[in-house]
Structure 1
Amino acid sequence: MADNFVQNIYEKLFGRNASEKSVEVLDGPLERSESYNEAFELWKASPKAEEILQSISNVFWNVRRDIAYSPGLFSFGSPQANGFYFNTKLGISELGFSFLLDAFRDSVVEMGYSIYTSDKKYVEVPAGIQRIDKHYLKPMNAAEQSDVYDQKYGNVLLELYSLNEEAQYLKCMVSVYSDRKFAEALPFEQFAEVLFKSS
């Protein structure tokens, strides 16, 4: 089965008969090698990681507060969902995007969340093969005496989009429950402050 997966990716990257072209989706768990994990831990503890996070944070708050426009970061908000995404125009390296995806995951876990799923997906698009690495996290909660659940900030979706194995952008989206069974979500701005400080 693994050989079929690799063969399918190979054919999508390097071509096949035009008559056979169709949109296909291939997915599986997002797994990291031991060498990646070692490099990631070194990166997290490095001044470079702190510098990158501070830079993203500065751009985010300028955009969020309408102080300045940036072609490298976009913020969005609604009563049900808030988030942001940033792209290669911020000057982040290929590996830096993967490290940031996992650093954000770790920060959200420290906020009292558990990883619901971590996976990767390959999709054929007109420009080639799009890969989406995803972490989806939900709050670890227990019903209070009033039977109302603490949703914290809401559910958190982290996705890294790549095209032909080159990073394009990283997205963070927080979706809230409006159901009466859940307490009101904490402010997204507070989530962002904790995310950038803890990562």
Structure 2
Amino acid sequence: MGFFEDVVGKIFGKQPPKAAFVHEMLRRSTKELASYQSWLGGEGQKQLVHDIQHAYYMKKQGILSSIDVHILDTQYSNGFAVSFNPSIGHENFRNLFDFFKEKVLDSGYKLSQGDRRVLDKETHEETIEKWYLKPVTEELGQPIINQRYGNVLIEKVDVNRKPSFIKFMANIYQDRQYTKAEPFQDLFDKVFES
């Protein structure tokens, strides 16, 4: 640290280092799309989806399973997170993240945003891939808009270029302009249906 930074640090307290920040649209390569298509409908995909669904229900009963699932349940946000397990594999984990997006699109949603951010933290590099989906609203001119399950946020977080977790959240509107949100459990069931 230079003299100036040392003096500023003593006067104002140690300032956190500036994080290097990369922000780009999330687009899959031809190779990643081919991997997803060959994974989709295969035994590996079906087993992984089944295992996560099973782990989710076990966790709701307070029972741990081999796949670490976290339940996120608040008044305005509901969802779950899946921690990476080496037995899943990097490619399968990325495909699972994209699979969640496709299942939400099939449930009356449109993709609002897809991006990737790379953050240089003090102790590690963090990459966050995000799909942000909003309900398709055909009721233009109607006094109340159908929010379905609310807006859906799906994030895949890598730490030091290694998968860490996938978070799946439905965030509801509390506004008179929107219908009451449908139960998150219904969305979960649609995402995990066979």
Please give the TM-score of this superposition, normalised by the length of structure 1: 0.84
1:31 matched to 2:27? The reply is: yes
Question: Aligned residue for 2:173?
Answer: 177
- C-alpha separation in 1, matches of 2:64 and 2:170: 22
Contact 1:108-1:195 at 8 Å conserved across structures: yes
Structure 2 SS opposite 1:68: coil
Q: In the TM superposition, what is the alpha-carbon distance from 1:62 to its structure 2 partner? A: 1.4
Pick the structure with greater CA Rg: 2
Residue 150 (structure 1) aligned with residue 175 (structure 2): no
Tell me how far 1:75 sits from its aligned partner.
0.3
The corresponding residue for 1:18 is none
Which moves more between the two structures, 123-132 or 85-94?
85-94
Q: CA RMSD in A?
A: 1.7
Corresponding residue to 2:160 among 157, 160, 164 = 164
The answer to whether structure 1 residue 58 and structure 2 residue 54 are counterparts is: yes
Instruction: Say which SS state the counterpart of residue 154 (structure 2) adopts.
Output: strand
What SS does the corresponding residue of 1:95 show, helix, strand or coil? helix
Q: How does 1:1-199 map to 2 (within 5 A)?
A: 22-64=18-60, 66-70=61-65, 72-89=68-85, 91-143=87-139, 147-197=143-193
More displaced 10-residue stretch of structure 1: 168-177 or 142-151: 142-151
In the other structure, the counterpart of 2:13 is: none
d(CA) in 2 for partners of 1:121, 1:58: 31
2: distance between equivalents of 1:135 and 1:33? 16
What amino acid maps onto 2:22 in structure 1?
L
- Structure 1: distance between partners of 2:98 and 2:24: 17
Q: Any idea what the Cα deviations from partners look like across 1:126-183, whole Å, max 9, x if unmatched? A: 3321000100000001337851111011100000000111000000010000101101
User: Is residue 72–residue 90 contact of structure 1 (8 Å, CA) maintained in 2?
Assistant: no
Question: What is the TM-score when the length of structure 2 is the normalising length?
Answer: 0.86
The amino acid that maps onto 2:78 is: N
Unaligned residue ranges in structure 1 (runs of 5+): 1-20
- Equivalent pairs: percent with the same residue? 24
| C-alpha deviation, 1:69, in angstroms | 3.1
Q: State the one-letter code of the partner of 2:39.
A: W
